[in-house]
Chains A and B, each alone.
Chain A
Amino acid sequence: MSATTMNPANAAAAERNSFQSSVKDAALAALLAGVLGFFFLGLRTDIAPGGLALSTRWSLWLTAIAIVFGGRLALNLFVFKTDRPVTGLLSVFTSRAGAATAGWGWWIGRLLFAIALFLPFIIMQMFPSQQRQLIDLAILIMTYIMLGWGLNIVVGLAGLLDLGYVAFYAVGAYSFALLSTHFDMIGFWTALPLAGLLAAFWGLILGFPVLRLRGDYLAIVTLAFGEIIRVVLLNWYDFTGGPNGISGIPKPTLFGMEFVRGDDGVAAFLGLEFSTIHRFVYLYYIIFLLAIITNIVTLRLRRLPVGRAWEALREDEIACRSLGINTTNTKLTAFAIGAMFGGFAGSFFATRQGFISPESFTFLESAIILAIVVLGGLGSQVGVVIAAVVMIGGIEMLRNIGFLQAVFGTGFDPTQYRMLIFGLAMVGIMIWKPRGLVSSREPTVVLKEKKKIGADMVSQGEGH
């Protein structure tokens, strides 16, 4: 190729050559598509009276061949057989964007915090017609952010792959639901710490048997644990109500005042006109506060010896033991603290819904939370936020998109393809950013200059 720059005649010849070979290659691919597609696309058998009837679909077959030819030719000309592939430009752009975000991570975090702080008011100002729906969505996203941060302790920091995290979410939710329905004096704020403690206790219970397990085996046992909890909740009819669930869970109060119409409601006390939206705004701020507490505690723990031991455990367990770190206790604290935040989120979930049943705690929930953590980048707090917004918000957005109908015809119902689109998007992100959206690690202690540690250095722990 270096010769072509010296001689223009040669260059033209090379160009012609590359074009010729591109066309040849595309024709070959089209031929292959034609042969392969002949029976699948070109011919069609229908059940007709007295046997099968053969009908032909030449136009479909030819269209497929044309698409293959055109696509292959375009790929050849612009990517495979050219000096400057289009994808090269793309990768330059993304790597630049990556470097920029690494430096801007701090600002992104601050910006997201500021937006989250005023989000209900922003929504009420900008979308008054949809405010209830949107604040509800914000609450949902915030719940998943909190769950993601909780799981990030176990998976991201300690490197223990936990596929049953939703079990602790369920423990928290049922703790609050059962406590509040059996004891009148227990409201949301008294039940919250109890739910956290109970979830942490169950975290320890799970932690003990799985301590010896590593990698895939650990993942399987945690998966089983999640299912055990769900099945027990489903079948212990006398205690949990089985598939009927528990209803009538009290709403959270503000210093003992309820969000109701009337003289003793919060609205009357604050001198506002009563509106149902107040309760949603309040719920949003509760989960916002809980999530921020989760974040602050996690960030704090990372800088403490126990957090450093978690990360060291993720890097090399044997080296940890050689340095006198009790890996058993370290793993248990990670499980327990992660479970505790799951429990907090669970009791919030119960009070928000007012009704819970085992259906809310399926394996899919665990998978979504884990996907948020992995997609966001193991160990990264900002990454979890972005991933939760993208995933949960994305799923909800896909519920009502009309434009796809314009593409696929009026018979197309986007909600049916929601999970398919979602899955494809995840595959795409994982191919582009295999270590998650924010994959660099920040050191917890610095001597002179803080340097980010690239994802290729950081080990992912067991079972990844």
Chain B
Amino acid sequence: MSAALMETPAATGQHNWEVDPILTVEHLTMRFGGLVAINNLSFNVGRGDITALIGPNGAGKTTVFNCVTGFYKPTEGRIVMRHGPGRQQEAVDKLTASGFKWQKAQDSAVFLLERMPDFEISQHAKVARTFQNIRLFGGMTVLENLMVAQHNMLMTASMFTVGGIVGLPSFREAEKGAVEKAKYWLERVNLTSRADDPAADLPYGAQRRLEIARAMCTEPHLLCLDEPAAGLNPRESAELNEILQYIRKEHETSVLLIEHDMGVVMEISDHIVVLDYGVKISDGDAQHVRTDPSVIAAYLGVEDEEIEDTPEIASLVVEALGEEAAVEAGIEVPPSKDGDRP
């Protein structure tokens, strides 16, 4: 499998995620007691890219997320987050050697996420996330949810509450600005009419959108979405695509997402990383991953060789990936089965 990796075009260094990565995960290992959830995983997230992390259930995708956002402390490995262009290799090396968590220069900064607690990662390194099982503040209104997301900015503006109690005009200004920003995002995710309703009252799809809006209110450089399309109907799924495209284009926010909906993944991702049993099995653009036999094997739960040998499995592959991809992957399309499918 590793041999397949080396042959990817990434090795030549022409991809954005190689040249200008915002996040690099290096030799990440996470063990829970005897269980190795992630084993020596390395991948890059390109600046301005939409990167998808895919893999079968239990492959360790959410664990990667939890490591990146600080909810787990990785057993081994380094996770580097960069503000400002380029790899900044020198700064990263210096920071690693020192005991510090981050290092800021004029218009760039590097952060070692594995050294930082979760709230600092959001506050300083500007990595925001959403959750697989939606975590909104259900008893607070939609608008309040977005205000809580701007906590750190408002806290500074209120001079850590002292200025807020006496009602400083500068704090009132900041609060007005926060409401404006919340309104902007409400409009983007199409929830303006429900701004004063409790978040728990929203339908499922709207809750997903609100969670994304809330994450965006922290002004992240990297937005991590854990299965944003789970449970959405096709129309909502299309809306989500639009929102993600918009975020990437207008806000220069890079997106890292876990997703099972291959329609969403293939359509919007610039870069796909495939995990299976905590190991990276494929890494490249949509075209590359789609035709990678090891990916197909992982999704079907069989060995690589079996795919081509067994006609039943080959037909499943065709069903899952489409004829074109199957042909490209070197799998013969069994003609008889074709007509039966609706």
Residues of A with Cβ closer than 8 Å to B? Answer: 297, 300-301, 304-306, 308-309, 311-312, 314-316, 318-327, 333, 441, 443-451, 453-454, 457-459
Contact = CB atoms under 8 A, between A and B. Distances in A.
B254 interface: no
A301 B161 contact: yes
Nearest to A449: B196
Nearest to B137: A315
B147 A304 contact: no
B116 to A, nearest CB: 11
Given A316-B136, A324-B122, A447 B147 contact: no
B200 interface: yes
Given A323-B214, A450-B196, A443 B141 contact: yes
A308 B139 CA distance: 12
B125 to A, nearest CB: 10
Contact of A305 (B120, B128, B164): B164
Highest count of chain A CB atoms <10 Å: which of B69, B136, B139, B141:
B139
Given A305-B155, A448-B195, A325 B139 contact: no
B118 interface: yes
A447 B179 contact: yes
Contacts of B195: 447-448
Given A297-B165, A300-B165, A443-B196, A457 B138 contact: yes
Given A306-B155, A306-B161, A325-B148, A315 B139 contact: yes
A448 B165 contact: no
A62 B204 CA distance: 60
Contacts of A323: 119, 122, 128, 148-149, 151, 214-215, 218
B198 interface: yes
Interface string B134-162: 01111111011001111110110010110
Nearest to B152: A324
Contacts of B122: 321-324
A319 B129 CA distance: 9
B201 A457 contact: yes
Given A311-B144, A441-B139, A446-B196, 6 more contacts: A325-B148, A447-B192, A447-B196, A448-B195, A457-B139, A458-B198
B139 A322 contact: no
A304 B148 CA distance: 10
Contacts of A316: 135-138
Highest count of chain B CB atoms <10 Å: which of A297, A312, A322:
A322
Contacts of A453: 139-141, 198
B131 interface: yes
Highest count of chain A CB atoms <10 Å: which of B71, B135, B179, B218:
B135
Nearest to A300: B165
Nearest to A379: B139
A308 B137 CA distance: 11
A443 B179 contact: no
22 contacts: A304-B161, A305-B147, A305-B155, A306-B160, A306-B161, A319-B136, A320-B119, A322-B122, A323-B151, A324-B151, A325-B119, A325-B152, A333-B161, A443-B140, A445-B147, A447-B192, A447-B195, A448-B196, A451-B196, A454-B198, A457-B138, A457-B139
Contacts of A444: 144, 147
Contacts of B164: 300, 304-306
A327 B140 contact: no
Contacts of B137: 311-312, 315-316, 319
A305 B183 CA distance: 18
Contacts of A300: 164-165
Contacts of B63: none
Interface in B240-289: none
Contacts of A304: 154, 158, 161, 164-165
Given A322-B69, A458-B139, A327 B165 contact: no
B144 A324 contact: no
B165 to A, nearest CB: 6
Nearest to A450: B196
Nearest to B70: A321
Contact of A308 (B123, B151, B179, B197): B151
B148 A309 contact: yes
A316 B71 CA distance: 14
Contacts of A312: 137, 140, 148, 151
Interface string B69-82: 10100000000000
A315 B137 CA distance: 5
Contacts of A445: 141, 143-144, 147, 179
Highest count of chain A CB atoms <10 Å: which of B148, B155, B158, B161:
B148
Contacts of A333: 161
B118 A321 contact: yes
Contacts of B158: 304-306
Nearest to B118: A321
Interface in B45-100: 69, 71
Contacts of A458: 138-139, 198
Contacts of B150: 305
Nearest to A459: B139
B200 A327 contact: no
Contacts of A315: 136-140
A363 to B, nearest CB: 30
Interface string B200-234: 11000000000000110010000000000000000
A308 B143 contact: no
Contact of B118 (A322, A443, A450): A322
Contact of B123 (A297, A305, A324, A451): A324
Contacts of B141: 443, 445-446, 451, 453
A306 B147 CA distance: 11
A447 B120 CA distance: 30
A151 to B, nearest CB: 19
Nearest to B155: A305
Contacts of B160: 306
B36 to A, nearest CB: 24
Contact of B128 (A314, A322, A450): A322
Given A445-B144, A453-B139, A325 B131 contact: no
A315 B69 CA distance: 20
A190 B201 CA distance: 50
Interface in B24-38: none
Nearest to A316: B135
Contacts of A443: 140-141, 143-144, 196
A447 B187 CA distance: 13
Contact of A319 (B120, B131, B161, B198): B131
A297 B161 CA distance: 11
A301 B165 contact: yes
Contacts of A459: 138-139
Nearest 6 interchain pairs by C-beta: A458-B139, A324-B122, A324-B123, A315-B137, A305-B154, A319-B135
Contacts of B148: 308-309, 312, 320, 323, 325
A160 B224 CA distance: 30
Nearest to B125: A324
Given A309-B148, A458-B139, A459-B139, A321 B119 contact: yes
